[in-house]
Structure 1
Amino acid sequence: MFKFLGMNEAHLDKNRKRTSWVVILTAITMLVEIYFGITSGSMALLADGIHMGSHVLAIGLSWVAYIFVRKVSKKDSFTGDSGKILSLSGYTSGLMLLIFALVILVEAFDRFFHPHVINFKDAILVAIIGLIVNILSALILHHNHEHSDHNIKAAYVHVLADALTSLAAIFGLTAAMIWEIPFIDTIAAIISSFVIITWSVGLLKDTGGVLMDIKQK
């Protein structure tokens, strides 16, 4: 049984199974949202389904990393640090999260100058569905922080970030619908983006430190 980063094979296998369940849950939600977005003509549902696809890609990367680590760590020919594979996956996932946050930020600022008509009921429904799925995913991915697995931490941060955007959207859209002030939704998106950027930068620093063999303080 191999060990690294304070973890053993049992912990890695447990994290792999957790990640695989989240990938399946997120993928099913993505397909449902895209299907009903197309059949109902709701751009909000369709857009959220596509956005969910980006998280399937990121969390799927974490899942593949566990499978790869499990295989290479059992080969005598492999002499590298298996833990760095997980850290590399976490770093890549953190970079993707940062890019997603920046795209949302740019889109939010553009909405100030080019307002869109919002179908509030559909958008709020989508946000609620997204929030429920991400709460379930966060519960599945919740782990003991003493085990320094940056890969599952990256997946965990992804679902927390998505839950934050869903929560902000619910409050922002509801307030905008009640008070008829559409830009409240935009402000909520901007605030969420800055929080997510902070999370992703922290993740990049942690995983980057491991990859560069920099000791954590």
Structure 2
Amino acid sequence: MSDFKDAAFGAGHDHIFLGAAHEQNERRTWAVIALCSVMMLIEIVGGSMFGSLALVADGLHMSTHAGAMLIAALAYTYARKHAADSRFVFGTGKLGDLAGFTSAIVLAMIAVLIGYEAVSRFLSPVPIHFGEAIPIAVVGLLVNLASVWLLRGDHHGHSHGHSHGHAHDEHAHEDEAQTVSAPFGVFAVSIFEDGVPPVFRITSAAGVSRLDTSTVSVTTVRPDGTQQVFAFKDRGGYLESKEDIPEPHAFRAIVRIADGEYEIGFEEHDHDAHDAATRDHNIRSAYIHVMADAAVSVLAIIGLVLARTFGWLWMDPLAGVVGALVIANWSYGLMRDTGAILLDMNPDRRMAENVRHAIEDRGDKVVDLHVWRVGPGHMSAVLSVSTSESQRDSRFYHAVLQRFKGLSHVTVEVQPA
């Protein structure tokens, strides 16, 4: 008979999987709504009093901006208030992703409307009241910059979607090097995995050419006592292990150089995939909204100034087309990333491989494994393990996996081999 058990590491059994900065981001979003609402009232009232249609129009535009922010703010508030609601099987951590996906659709609609208006003005130019339009665009830009400042912080979305989702499964750097002080020099031992299977590298400021590779080795000692010896080859400037390093990269390492023996340690890092797993898409969507509005304001100012200075009336609609394309690009990135999470696509395949290796390095077999995100910084795993060790139950595997940061909820089924 199989042994089936569930555990929620770091969150107990309340299944609260909200982001670490949830309440802080909630306050920031409401602050931006307050700022936009005040500006909206000033522009509408002022425009009505002074007969400025352009000022009233910009005030109405600011109202749509505040409405978009409202999606994010309400999502934060609802998720917090219902975090312990048992009706949500895996908590309310993904509500922010749903709000982000909705905001991405709104952004796409805004991009289409701006593009349509710009093309219409290309075909049928309209007179521009530069005296009113330029100051309003400047004021709008200042409000958007203030909103960006309010939403500043660890939103994990500052690249607006165009650099996410395509580099989260590989390390693009070298792990922090561990130093070894030998009698004939100081050597740096690191794990290198820049687009290649992970390997050890040994470097030295004095060079490694004088080292005999037959006298150099690294022996890894994992928490369960498993050992593996790595031989090295000369790469001309550094030594590199001939064998790849299995996951996870958490072990003691005994480095042998000539007649010396030195012990160092490595810890598992989440790296780029960690960013994908912890990113708060709700604050990211709010940030993209204000950045999109700021970008449109900047383009509008440039277009209006050039149109007034050189008579290039086509610059104003051209700026609108460029702004629409930029917003559409950001919308696509946000929609892609949030949609993947809503469909339970694993944003951290490295975590899944680490879980698999942690189990199988102990001689067992992972029959089935599913890892997905349940909230910013919270991953869930369901796995089925086949083992010939009768004393290993689900508690044993929970203890094995508990050291993984961000793995907040684990369900294990144990099947006798």
Q: Decide: shared fold, TM above 0.5.
A: yes
- From 47, 64, 87, the counterpart of 1:37: 47
Higher relative contact order (CA 8 A, sep 6+): 1
2:57 pairs with 1:47? yes
Q: Which residue in the other structure is 1:110 paired with? A: 120
Q: In 1, distance between residues paired with 2:327 and 2:40? A: 21
Q: In 2, distance between residues paired with 1:119 and 1:40? A: 15
Note if contact 2:28-2:150 (Cα within 8 Å) is conserved in structure 1. yes
Q: Which residue in the other structure is 1:15 paired with? A: 25
Residue identity opposite 1:191 in structure 2: V
2:130 pairs with 1:120? yes
User: What is the CA-CA distance between 1:180 and the residue it aligns to?
Assistant: 1.4
Greater alpha carbon shift after TM alignment, 154-163 vs 135-144: 135-144
Greater alpha carbon shift after TM alignment, 152-161 vs 207-216: 207-216
2:289 pairs with 1:158? yes
Q: Which residue in the other structure is 2:346 paired with? A: 215
- The structure with the largest helix share of the pair is 1
Q: Which residue in the other structure is 1:190 paired with? A: 321
Identity of aligned residues (%): 39
- From 136, 139, 143, the counterpart of 2:149: 139
- The structure with the largest strand share of the pair is 2
2:336 pairs with 1:205? yes
Q: Which residue in the other structure is 2:105 paired with? A: 95
Q: In 2, distance between residues paired with 1:140 and 1:108? A: 30
Residue identity opposite 1:148 in structure 2: R
Q: Which residue in the other structure is 1:171 paired with? A: 302
Greater alpha carbon shift after TM alignment, 37-46 vs 132-141: 37-46
Q: Note the alpha carbon deviations across 1:55-95, whole angstroms, 9 max, x for none.
A: 11110111011110011102344323412211011111111
Q: Which residue in the other structure is 2:279 paired with? A: 148
Greater alpha carbon shift after TM alignment, 158-167 vs 40-49: 40-49
How many pairs are equivalent?
A: 214
Q: Which has the larger radius of gyration?
A: 2
Residue identity opposite 2:338 in structure 1: T
Residue identity opposite 1:198 in structure 2: N
- Describe the SS at the equivalent of 2:85: coil
Residue identity opposite 2:63 in structure 1: G
Greater alpha carbon shift after TM alignment, 44-53 vs 122-131: 44-53
User: What is the CA-CA distance between 1:37 and the residue it aligns to?
Assistant: 2.0
Q: Which residue in the other structure is 1:4 paired with? A: 17
- Describe the SS at the equivalent of 1:102: helix
Q: In 1, distance between residues paired with 2:47 and 2:320? A: 21
Q: In 1, distance between residues paired with 2:153 and 2:337? A: 17
- Describe the SS at the equivalent of 1:83: coil
Q: Which runs of 5+ in 1 are unaligned?
A: none
Superposition RMSD on alpha carbons, in Å?
1.5
Q: In 2, distance between residues paired with 1:179 and 1:78? A: 60
Residue identity opposite 1:51 in structure 2: H
Q: In 2, distance between residues paired with 1:26 and 1:60? A: 11
Return structure 1 stretches of 4+ with deviation > 4 angstroms: none
Q: In 2, distance between residues paired with 1:76 and 1:206? A: 27
Residue identity opposite 1:160 in structure 2: M
Q: In 2, distance between residues paired with 1:203 and 1:45? A: 31
Give the alignment's TM-score, normalised by structure 2: 0.50
Q: In 2, distance between residues paired with 1:77 and 1:195? A: 39
